[in-house]
Chain A
C-alpha cells in the first residue's frame, strides 16, 4: 500500500499542471497531535475529523498528506500520507526526539487541488521509560505473584525440611554411576543439541556437575562429547571444577570433555561411534534433543548401556520413554538439579514452582466456574480477575 501513496505527490503535480478547472476541498478539522505513548520515541499520533468533501460528487477528496515543520512559520515538508477515510495516523518518519514539531494535513481532491488544515503543535516526540499498556501491566502482576512465590519459598526454605516426591529418573542417576563403577566402564554424558540459551541445557549443566563430582570420587571415566561451542566451554569448566572440588584435579582428563562438531548428523555419527567402541555402562541424555534422540537411544541400547534421558521437547520425550530405561519428563528435568543438590534454596524454588501451578489450576477452575455462573456475577466479579491477569 505504501508505494502507490508515495507516488501521490507526483500524480498530483501532473494533474495540477494539466487540470483546467479546480475546486479546492474543505480542509480537515480539529487536527490534534500528541506524542505517541509507550514507544521508543520519534513518533507522533495525529487525529482529525475528515474533510466533508470525501464523498462529494465532483472531484472528491482522495487522500491526505501529512506535513511537519520545526516552527509554525517555517516551511512544512511532507512526512507521510493517509488514505481517504482515515481519521488518524502515527507519523514515524523524520521526527527526532526532543525537538518540537508542528503538523498540518493537506486534503487532496481528485482534480489535484488541495486545502491545508490548521496547524497543530508544538509536540515534542520522546521515548517512554515504562510501557503502560495493560498487557505489560499484567505481566508485571504475574511476575509479582510467581516470582514472589519462588522467592518466598527460597527464603523460607532454610527453616524446615521440605518434602519432594520421589522421581524415578533422578534416583536412577546414582544407580547408573554405581553400575559404571562396578563394571569398570565409562559414563557417557550428552548435554543435548541446544545452545547455552536453552533452559534444558542449563538444567543439564547442574546434573553434569553432580555426576562429575561422583565420577571423580569413584574414579570412573566420564566422557562428554559436546555439540555447541559455548556449551562445550562451559562443560569443560564444570567437569574440571567438579574434579577439583572432589580433591582429584589430577584425574581430570581434558581430552574426555571435547567438542565434536556443530552439525546434527555428523555429531550423531561420532557419538554412535563412541558408544559402539567405548561401550559405556551408562548413558545420560539431558538437555535439548531433536531427531537424533532415537538414533542415540537405540544405538545405546544395542551397546548394552543403561540409559537415563530428560528433555523438555515433547516429541523426544516420547522416544526416550520408548527406548530408554528412565526418562525425566519435562519439568522433572528442571527439578533434577534441586533434587540432587538438596540445598534448601533449590528445594524451596521447587515449592515455589508448585505454588505457581496452584494459581494456574486455581485460575483455570475459577474461570471455568465463572463461565457456568450467572451472567452478571461473571461479568462483574470474575471479569475483574480475568482483566487483571489475562491478556485477552
Chain B
C-alpha cells in the first residue's frame, strides 16, 4: 500500500491529464439534466432589461476572445436576444483587439435572427487601442474616439446615432468581458460618468468582481457557464441553442474528478509522511 502511495505521489502528470480527459468525455453520452437555480445577481440584469422601454438605448461592450467563447458567448447571445426582443437599441464597441471580429459576428448574427437593422437598431463602433482612454473619451462624446464606425461609415450619418452623444444618453452599460478591461469600465465609465454598469464575466473573474457587485458599483453580475445557464433559462432559450445549460451537467463530473484526485493526493501524502 505504501509503495502504491509513494508511486502515486510521483506519478507523471500526463496520467493526470488522461484521467481529466476521460472524466469529461464519458458524461457527454449520459445527459441527466441537473436543475439550475437563478441567483440574485444574474436576475438583476434580466429584470433591468425587462424594465426598459422600446427605443431605449443600451451600451454593449463585448470584450472576449475566441478562447473564452464557451463561457461568455452564451451570455452574450442570451442578452442580445432579450434586448432585441424588447426592441431596445444597442450601441456597441469591441475594445479588445482579439475580440473585435467576434463582437461583430455576434451582433450581426443576433440582429439577423431577430430581424434588426444596422444603423437603426444597433451600431458597432469597433476597436481602438488603449481602452481606458477610449472609454473616457466616449464619456465626452462617442465621436471623439469613433468618428467612424467599424465599417468606416461616418457616425453622424447613422440614424440611430442622432441625439446619441455619450453614455448619459444610454440606459446602462453592459460588458461581456473576459479581460481586465472590465476594470476600466468600472473605474472610468461608472466611476467617472456614473452610468449603471453590469458585467458578464468568466467564472474566474467572478471572484474579483463580486466585490464590485456587493459595493453597488455593478448592478448585476453574471459569472461563467453557470451564470450563462441561469440567463438562458430566464430568457427562455431551449434545446440546442441553450449550450450553457447542456454543458453544466458535464461540468459536475469534471469537478468531481479533480476533487477525487486531490483527495487521493492527500491520502498518499499522509500515508507516506507518517512512516518517515
Contacts and interface: CB of A to CB of B under 8 A. Distances in A.
Direct contact of A and B (CB under 8 A): yes
A314 B67 contact: no
B207 A263 contact: no
Interface string B139-176: 00000000000000000000000110000010000000
Interface of B is mostly: loop
B59 to A, nearest CB: 16
A315 B207 contact: yes
B180 A197 contact: no
Contact of A197 (B97, B132, B163): B132
A20 to B, nearest CB: 32
A386 to B, nearest CB: 16
Contacts of A288: 180
Given A6-B163, A263-B98, A197 B208 contact: no
Nearest to A4: B55
A194 B181 CA distance: 11
Contacts of B55: 1, 3
Interface in A291-326: 291, 302, 313-315
B204 interface: yes
Given A3-B55, A197-B132, A290-B180, A315 B205 contact: yes
Given A3-B55, A197-B130, A290-B180, A264 B207 contact: no
Given A3-B55, A3-B163, A197-B132, A315 B180 contact: no
A264 B208 CA distance: 21
B208 A315 contact: yes
B180 A264 contact: no
A314 B204 CA distance: 10
Nearest to B164: A2
Contact of A2 (B67, B163, B205): B163
A290 B67 CA distance: 13
Contacts of B162: 3
Contacts of B97: 262
A314 B180 contact: no
Interface string A157-200: 00000000000000000000000000000000000001101000
Contacts of B13: 302
Contact of B208 (A2, A263, A302, A314): A314
Interface of B: 13, 55-56, 65, 67, 97-98, 130, 132, 162-163, 169, 179-180, 204-205, 207-208
14 contacts: A2-B163, A2-B169, A3-B55, A3-B162, A194-B180, A195-B130, A264-B65, A290-B179, A291-B204, A313-B180, A313-B208, A315-B204, A315-B207, A315-B208
Q: Which 4 A-B pairs have the closest CB atoms?
A: A2-B163, A315-B204, A314-B208, A315-B208
Given A195-B130, A197-B132, 9 more contacts: A1-B56, A2-B163, A2-B169, A262-B97, A264-B65, A264-B98, A265-B67, A291-B67, A315-B207
